[in-house]
Chains A and B, each alone.
Chain A
Amino acid sequence: MSTDTETQEGAQSEDWFASAKKIYPMATHGLFRRIKWTLLFITLGIYYFLPFIRYDRGPNAPDQAVLIDMEAKRAYFFFIEIWPQEVYYLTGLLIIAAVALFLMNAVAGRIWCGYLCPQTVWTDLFLWVERKVEGDRRERIALDKDPWTFGKVRKRATKHFFWLMIAWWTGGAWVLYFNDAPTLVWQLLTFQAPMVAYIWIAILTTTTYLLAGFMREQVCIYMCPWPRIQAALTDEKALNVTYRWDRGEPRGSLKQNKKLAAEGLPAGDCIDCYQCFQVCPTGVDIRKGMQLDCIQCGLCIDACDNIMTKIGKPTGLIAYDTDENIERRIEGKEPVYEIVRVRTVIYAAIIALVGAIMLFTLLNRDFSDISVLHDRNPVFVEQSDGTVRNGYTVRLANKRRHDRSFMLHVEGMPPNTLVEAVGVEATFAGRPIVSVGPDTTREVRVLVTSPPWVKMPHSTPVTFRITESVMGEVVTANDTFKAPGTP
């Protein structure tokens, strides 16, 4: 390969590819930093310790407040118990979650990303570890350039050890939601836990370690679809982290701007100290305006406010504000903040509606259930005495935590119709009494025989009605009774 080819190729690849610049976010303090710490404590506290909260459900039931029991096919959340066929509650939760994200966006852009997103929260935690071990921005930049001395190895090893511990704990907490937590912790420690638990811990440890330790802002910029979607969800009235260039420009060093101001020339409040850029977890210079990479975390606001306080200028050079307000201030009008507007009201209404529907269905759900399946082969049986028999597979569900029995009645058939349930002896007035164990289902074969001397039509709609013997709870299912003949 000739040299000029190499230079040509080299030049091209530099044009085409840029390797990601490593960013070294600096520590800051202030209102938004405090909010972020608080939310981090609350969310991680919930995540790590929720499985250990006990909730008594009586005997023969798990006493874990939040549990997804795959084996028994049940999900528990405090006083709520969800069966697999009620998984639509999850749909409701997802709808609420989605609309809540829309609402956040309409109010203040990507605040989800800045404050509550797991990626942000764990990255924040990992950064905190990094700062504790390696020091702040300046020390970390220096450390990266240092040769590999014993001290550097020790720092790096310490950092990765703590990262891995946090990541491992994160994966570990995840599996506790799927099994009785104290039992599982003991099993994990004594290597008796099921293999699937270890696999999940391994997967989530790896992902936490990689995403929060190494990829960080790359996830927000390149992997996550949310930045693309939010462009369609935010508008000119949404509060975004905004550099108020009307006040800040023209920027210049403190000295220069003071000099300009003394001469009566225009001078902005921005002293070009780059603090806002240095604290930014995604490496954004917010003074360039709204960008895809900005996650609305407000750390630059804290950093800038600290500087403004030091130089005796009013705070709020960078603030949660709207583009509209900058225009208004230039025109000399008062800024407006419209949190309540059509868009936010509609989102809030949708959340309220879905929440209300979910609450209503939850409070009014039946604690028993019936499903009926008509025999397909044969559809009906003609008996020697001229009667017609239909077979059905009926499944009864008892969602209470104690034995219950149900009286089965088939409506829509002529009088003296015979209803039998295979394996069920007990009857009341000719109606089978089917007992079902606690929190389980029972399948019985039900035979319905038309009375003698009654010519049944080709198809008769019938209703299977079960009545719970104590509470009188009634559940029905519809089916048909078939007989010879043409429709």
Chain B
Amino acid sequence: MSDTHNKEVDQISGVETTGHEWDGLKELNNPLPKWWLYLFYVTIVWAVIYWVLYPSWPLISSYTSGVLGANQRLEAIQAYDDGVAGRSEFADKIVAASLDDIAADQELLQFALANGQAAFGDNCAPCHGSGGTGAEGYPNLQDDTWLWGGTLDDIHTTLLYGIRSGNDDARIGEMPAFGRDELLSREEVSQVSNFVASRAGLETDDGVDLAAGQTLYVDNCAACHGENLEGIQELGAPSLNSANYLYGKSLEAIKAQVNNPRNGVMPAWVDRLDPATIKSLTVYVHSFGGGQ
């Protein structure tokens, strides 16, 4: 490439120099190996071919899409659709089978549990916890305490329509705000709360008239929570004897609930998940062991 007049050859190595010199140091001209160079040229050719075939160059608001029409987004959508199609065989069976049949069929059960576990993590875990153990205000699905029933059908219904979700078929149970709406005086709230606490095995305040509390309970609470504080599942009224209280088991928590109750909401999933997934979730939640 360069002019051939002043080629200088290094005495020691016998290699010609580039003519560059720094403080008396001369740069030798050892060209790259041929195979290396040719491989480099191949990569350049490869890149040009790639530009033609595949999406490569960004433009102002789009990009060169390539003649093969490769599109990773479409591929991902296709892969998702393939996955759904691959599951459809089982999903159809799940939709067709009754809940008891699913629980009894080994193959369907395996699929439902796996499918349910995945769906649970996506949709239910934020409130109920990744293991279904719940939290204060969010029911524990692992234990044997069920507000609305723990049979397969009960769980299925709850999943479909939710609790106080606004869905027409949703289960609704409202506890009146006895304190806030002044149905009971401050003293009466204290009395009835202490009565419940005493029956639930909690410490009570000193000098509270428990007999008055019992009378108040029978008049105001027994209709839902039962004569013996056992709760009524049809109304979603929890047992007050249970070891597990949704909003915390303490006198303060009971007072707060009587005074200004919290009524939690579970969304209806009927419009958000497909029937097979809801059935899978039912079987999965039931398999936690608390199911009835």
Contacts and interface: CB of A to CB of B under 8 A. Distances in A.
Interface of A: 1-2, 4-5, 8-9, 12, 375-378, 381-386, 389, 391, 420, 422-423, 425, 442-443, 445, 447, 449
A378 B131 contact: yes
Contacts of A383: 143-145, 243, 290
Given A1-B7, A386-B243, A423-B103, A381 B290 contact: yes
A2 B131 CA distance: 81
A447 B288 CA distance: 8
Given A2-B7, A384-B239, A447-B289, A375 B113 contact: no
A8 B9 CA distance: 11
Contact of A384 (B143, B287, B288): B143
Given A5-B14, A9-B14, A445 B131 contact: no
B220 interface: no
A425 B14 contact: no
Interface in B108-158: 109-110, 113, 129-133, 140, 142-145
B16 A5 contact: yes
A391 B284 CA distance: 13
B131 A12 contact: no
B60 interface: no
B107 to A, nearest CB: 10
Dominant secondary structure at the B interface: loop
28 contacts: A1-B7, A1-B16, A2-B9, A5-B15, A9-B14, A9-B15, A375-B131, A377-B130, A377-B133, A378-B132, A378-B133, A378-B142, A381-B288, A382-B143, A382-B244, A383-B144, A383-B145, A384-B242, A384-B244, A389-B142, A391-B288, A391-B289, A422-B109, A423-B287, A425-B104, A442-B106, A445-B113, A445-B289
B104 A423 contact: yes
Interface in B243-292: 243-244, 287-290
B109 A423 contact: yes
A449 B290 CA distance: 11
A428 B145 CA distance: 28
B243 A420 contact: no
A272 to B, nearest CB: 41
Contacts of A4: 9
A410 to B, nearest CB: 14
Nearest to B103: A423
Given A386-B243, A420-B289, A381 B142 contact: yes
Nearest to B125: A377
Contacts of A1: 7, 16
Contacts of B15: 5, 9
A-B complex: 10 closest residue pairs judged by Cβ atoms: A377-B131, A8-B14, A447-B289, A381-B142, A423-B109, A378-B133, A422-B287, A384-B242, A383-B144, A378-B131
B289 A423 contact: no
A381 B239 CA distance: 18
Given A377-B130, A383-B144, A384-B143, 9 more contacts: A5-B9, A382-B143, A383-B290, A386-B243, A391-B289, A422-B109, A422-B287, A423-B287, A443-B110
Centre residue among B103, B104, B289 by max chain A CB count within 10 A: B289
A384 B289 contact: no
B289 A389 contact: yes
Contacts of A375: 131
B274 to A, nearest CB: 22
A303 B144 CA distance: 89
Contacts of A386: 243
Nearest to A422: B287
A422 B110 CA distance: 10
A289 to B, nearest CB: 36
A245 B109 CA distance: 80
Given A8-B14, A375-B131, A445-B287, A381 B7 contact: no
Contacts of B145: 383-384
Interface in B72-130: 103-104, 106, 109-110, 113, 129-130
A420 B144 CA distance: 15
Nearest to A380: B142
A389 to B, nearest CB: 6
Contacts of A9: 14-15
A4 B131 CA distance: 82
Contacts of B243: 382-386
A12 B15 CA distance: 11
B11 to A, nearest CB: 11
Centre residue among A9, A12, A423, A443 by max chain B CB count within 10 A: A423
A5 B242 CA distance: 99
A443 B288 CA distance: 15
A366 B128 CA distance: 41
A5 B15 CA distance: 7
Contacts of A447: 289
Given A386-B243, A423-B106, A381 B14 contact: no
Contacts of A5: 7, 9, 14-16
A88 to B, nearest CB: 28
Contacts of B289: 381, 389, 391, 420, 422, 445, 447, 449
A398 to B, nearest CB: 13
Contacts of B140: 381
Contacts of A420: 289
A12 B30 CA distance: 14
A384 B144 contact: yes
Nearest to A376: B131
B122 to A, nearest CB: 16
Interface string B1-28: 0000001010000111000000000000
A384 B244 CA distance: 6
A285 B110 CA distance: 69
Centre residue among A4, A420, A442, A443 by max chain B CB count within 10 A: A443
Nearest to B130: A377
B203 to A, nearest CB: 19
Contacts of A2: 7, 9
Contacts of A391: 142, 288-289
